[in-house]
């Protein structure tokens, strides 16, 4: 761990020296790149400086306690300070371990959040609408910008599918663990006997891909226009402004119909397609790494049931954390921080456990 920190410290100093090189003035792109890399290392450097200061204070206290000529009052103060510094040392060391964890390159990206009704028919589509409201409220509380990319409604007014684009500060880092199967247990409004039904909705969180991340060759695309449809499937646009894009190599299909402009629907569809293709490539890479290591902790597979929303008990349970909160209404109103922060801490702990040997 400390050799890694020393290497980072040396790299930080080299980057700092590079920024003072007069030759860089004429290359703003390189200056921006070096400045960004240096800024990413700065929190580690500052924390390491605090750790080294604590280490020095501990050493000084030990020397006073070992000094036969030091008076008792000074030794008492040194003993108290030593205990305090040792506690701080442990805390800062843990913070350094977290800072040294490999960074997810997608953490700062915006996202496409895809919500789809699963098992449960109309009730699943109604809950998909509830989840759309929950994530919209969460985004609003965070000050993020939300844009609806595509919708498909059920005859009862629920959502078969909703795709939204969320933009803001580190959106993916806070939403990435929402991918998976969300289960709801409640009495449907249409259920006369009052029986509790179980339905599911799938959520997929994809980091938004830039054009440089995924380049699409026009010959690999099949683009079709069709009439947009509304609830119940009726045609609501005879001008064929809706767009369906098929990526031939994988058969991936994306449709967008919410805009009145064919051009805008095509633009949205291509943005979603790039993100799906990047997500697919990254997931395949992660699965290969996991197979090579013969272990996989916290896969986050979308086929996994990750959370249950029980209306009769006003309960939300996240199954990965074994965390149960009796505040269903508040969570559905966008108060997700307690869950998202706990998930981040949980998966960071898993990563730390996998790197235990490097911290020895």
**Residues 176 and 86 placed together within one structural domain of the fold:** no
Query: What confidence tens digit (pLDDT) does each residue in 13-65 have?
Result: 888 888 888 877 778 878 888 888 888 888 888 988 898 999 999 998 898 88
**Residues 141 and 194 placed together within one structural domain of the fold:** yes
Which of 99, 127, 162 is where one domain is finished?
A: 99
In a domain, 190, yes or no: yes
Residue 231 confidence (pLDDT): 52
Which of 34, 67, 99 is where one domain is finished?
A: 99
**Residues 163 and 63 placed together within one structural domain of the fold:** no
The helix/strand/coil state of 130 is helix
Q: What is the CATH classification number for the domain harbouring 195?
A: 3.30.70.1660
**Residues 134 and 250 placed together within one structural domain of the fold:** yes
Low-confidence ranges of the chain (pLDDT < 50): 232-237, 289, 292-302, 357-360
Angle between helices 72-99 and 28-66 (to 10 degrees): 150
Which of 68, 99, 130 is where one domain is finished?
A: 99
In a domain, 359, yes or no: no
Task: Kindly report the number of other CB atoms within 10 A of residue 6's CB atom.
Answer: 11
Residue 190 confidence (pLDDT): 64
In a domain, 105, yes or no: no
Residue 104 confidence (pLDDT): 77
State which H helix or E strand residue 197 sits in: strand 197-207
The number of C-alpha atoms within 13 Å of 117 and in the hemisphere containing its C-beta is 21
In order of 49, 311, 326, the CA distances from 197 in angstroms are 56, 11, 19
CA separation for the pair 329, 309 (Å, rounded): 10
Total domains in the chain come to: 2
**Residues 7 and 92 placed together within one structural domain of the fold:** yes
pTM for the whole structure: 0.67
**What is the DSSP secondary structure assignment for residue 307, as one 8-state letter?**
E
**Residues 246 and 166 placed together within one structural domain of the fold:** yes
| For the chain, counts of helices (H) and of strands (E) | 9, 11
**Residues 38 and 127 placed together within one structural domain of the fold:** no
**Residues 193 and 331 placed together within one structural domain of the fold:** yes
What backbone torsions phi and psi does residue 32 show, to the nearest 5 degrees? -60, -40
In SS3 terms, 310-345 reads as ECCCCEEEECCCCEEECCHHHHHCCCCHHHHHHHHH
From the CA atom positions of the chain, what is the Rg in Å? Answer: 26
**Residues 151 and 93 placed together within one structural domain of the fold:** no
**Residues 65 and 120 placed together within one structural domain of the fold:** no
Question: Domain of 242?
Answer: 111-293+302-350
């Amino acid at each position: 761990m400390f050799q890694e920190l020393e290497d980072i410290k040396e790299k930080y100093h080299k980057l700092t020296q590079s920024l003072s090189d007069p030759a860089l003035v004429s290359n703003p792109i390189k200056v921006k790149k070096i400045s960004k890399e240096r800024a990413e290392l700065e929190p580690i450097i500052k924390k390491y400086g605090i750790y080294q200061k604590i280490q020095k204070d501990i050493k000084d206290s030990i020397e006073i306690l070992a000094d036969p000529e030091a008076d008792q009052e000074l030794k008492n103060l040194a003993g108290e300070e030593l205990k305090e510094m040792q506690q701080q040392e442990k805390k800062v060391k843990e913070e350094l371990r977290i800072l040294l964890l490999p960074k997810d390159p997608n953490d700062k990206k915006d996202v496409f959040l895809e919500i789809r009704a699963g098992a449960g028919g109309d009730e699943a589509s109604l809950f998909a609408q509830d989840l759309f409201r929950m994530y919209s409220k969460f985004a609003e509380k965070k000050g993020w910008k939300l844009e609806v990319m595509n919708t498909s409604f059920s005859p009862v007014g629920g959502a078969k599918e909703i795709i939204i684009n969320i933009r803001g500060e580190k959106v993916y880092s806070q939403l990435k663990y929402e991918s998976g199967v969300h289960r709801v247990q409640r009495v449907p409004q249409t259920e006369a006997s009052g029986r509790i039904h179980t339905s599911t909705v799938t959520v997929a969180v994809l980091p938004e891909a830039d054009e440089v991340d995924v380049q699409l060759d026009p010959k690999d695309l099949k683009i079709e226009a069709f009439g947009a449809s509304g609830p119940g499937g009726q045609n609501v646009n005879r001008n064929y402004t809706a767009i369906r894009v098929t990526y031939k190599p994988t058969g991936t299909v994306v449709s967008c119909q919410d805009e009145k402009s064919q051009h805008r629907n095509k633009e949205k569809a291509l943005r979603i397609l790039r993100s799906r293709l990047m997500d697919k490539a990254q997931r395949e890479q992660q699965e290969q790494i996991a197979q090579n290591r013969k272990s996989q902790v916290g896969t986050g597979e979308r086929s996994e049931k990750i959370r249950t929303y029980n209306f009769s008990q006003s309960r939300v349970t996240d199954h990965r954390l074994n965390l149960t909160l009796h505040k269903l209404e508040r969570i559905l109103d966008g108060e997700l921080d307690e869950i998202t922060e706990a998930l981040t801490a949980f998966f960071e702990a898993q990563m730390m456990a996998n790197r235990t040997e490097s911290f020895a």
